[in-house]
A and B are shown apart, each in its own frame.
Chain A
């Protein structure tokens, strides 16, 4: 069991900055994110795009903002559980919480902060009615262990970078790789597109373009996919296969957090913003894009502000008898948990005798 002061669900900009604000109050944080990397939307959707409305940064790439946030919180040594979705929230008799992830990792803390943004990023599933029946029985949306596909027949669908990259990679692992894509053109890094073309010419990738997978077949496990070619509704091709891997990117979903008994309005968690961004479950806070209150703006800057306010309240919940007075970092400096200390140089005062 991972023990900490604050469990933060979501390692987007809001969750990351909350680590810093908590650190100033000597509170330790552990972050959980469904994505394999920190940064939330900034890393997943637009890492190479510039942001213009972070105070003090006339222009900063989203990816660089995340890098800077990671650097800024380093002294506070946060823990990370990445690539796992927070699944359940359990309240113990002493008022503390256990958060368990999709892979069964348990986290225990007196405070839970949901900084889940638009939700956890989940694979987009093609609208094939029976697809759910074959999940993990031949249909996978994420390739975790490429060895699973050794000497197997694989059909990949999609036209983006991950469809191209995995087709190239599995061409050397699987006994047969087919790549199904709606158009002749692929969007993706030029060298990947060229490599796929090359592998297709020598027969290592079976390229099926202007086509879509429309149905799946098999008793229990998947044994074939039905492919429809553009403009030929009646002319369907049945392709025998062991695995079907649709790679159509990720889309955020509020997911299991929606079932935790929190007050939800328009896909967001209602909080008490006049005070501290606490939810209707005492000890559970919601900050950043995931919360809602009158006048809410979904901006990074607002998430940062909410993180600072939330931490003061969390501190008071953990230590009801202590009074903490807010200090400026310029005056008090920053004491890392690793023994590091940052502070402004003291003015040298020279007295004249």
Chain B
């Protein structure tokens, strides 16, 4: 088994502990979509290309284990709303074993 458990707090504030596979090159945005934790059409609009910020989330744990923000991610967050110091784009966070226990909260939908 190469799943890890992570906690995702949805936009209504409800916490979900979900399994995320680490062997499918899956990113956090895709995990949220596969567990249907945000309505269709409100997350992953650019398909995970760091071009829409619909997958913005606040990282509540394991910051130190996340990869550095790329130029594109930094730039997109710059254009987004509700950005905090712990904001990241979910589509740029790939599921690895080290992230076991990761906790994130989805940022509000930007309209």
Contacts and interface: CB of A to CB of B under 8 A. Distances in A.
A195 interface: no
B18 interface: no
Interface stretch (A249-257, A274-282, A345-353): A249-257
A262 B75 CA distance: 38
A268 B78 contact: no
B46 to A, nearest CB: 6
B51 interface: yes
B40 A266 contact: yes
Interface string B18-54: 0000000000000000000001111001100101101
Contact of A249 (B39, B40, B79, B82): B79
Contact of B79 (A49, A158, A266): A158
A95 interface: no
B111 interface: yes
Interface in A78-127: 118-119, 124-127
A126 B79 CA distance: 10
Contacts of B54: 251
Contacts of B42: 267
B77 to A, nearest CB: 9
Given A182-B83, A251-B54, A267 B41 contact: yes
Interface in A181-217: 181-183, 185, 187
Interface size class for chain A?
20 to 34
Nearest to B81: A127
A182 B111 CA distance: 18
Given A160-B79, A183-B78, A251 B40 contact: no
Given A118-B45, A251-B52, A251-B54, A267 B39 contact: yes
Interface string B70-84: 000001001101110
Contacts of A46: 46, 49, 51
B76 to A, nearest CB: 8
A127 B82 contact: yes
Interface string A28-56: 00000000000000000110010000000
A10 interface: no
Contacts of B39: 266-267
A243 to B, nearest CB: 20
B110 interface: yes
Interface in B79-111: 79, 81-83, 108, 110-111
A128 to B, nearest CB: 10
Contacts of B111: 124-125, 251, 253
A253 B54 CA distance: 13
A248 interface: yes
Given A45-B46, A118-B41, A251 B75 contact: no
Contacts of A126: 81
A22 B15 CA distance: 49
B104 to A, nearest CB: 20
Interface of A: 45-46, 49, 118-119, 124-127, 158-160, 181-183, 185, 187, 248-249, 251-254, 266-268
13 contacts: A46-B46, A118-B45, A124-B110, A124-B111, A125-B111, A126-B81, A127-B110, A251-B45, A251-B110, A251-B111, A267-B39, A268-B40, A268-B41
Interface of B: 39-42, 45-46, 49, 51-52, 54, 75, 78-79, 81-83, 108, 110-111
| 7 interchain residue pairs of minimum CB distance | A267-B41, A187-B75, A266-B40, A267-B40, A183-B78, A127-B81, A182-B78
Given A45-B45, A126-B81, A160-B79, 11 more contacts: A46-B51, A119-B41, A127-B108, A127-B110, A159-B79, A182-B83, A185-B75, A187-B79, A253-B111, A254-B41, A267-B41
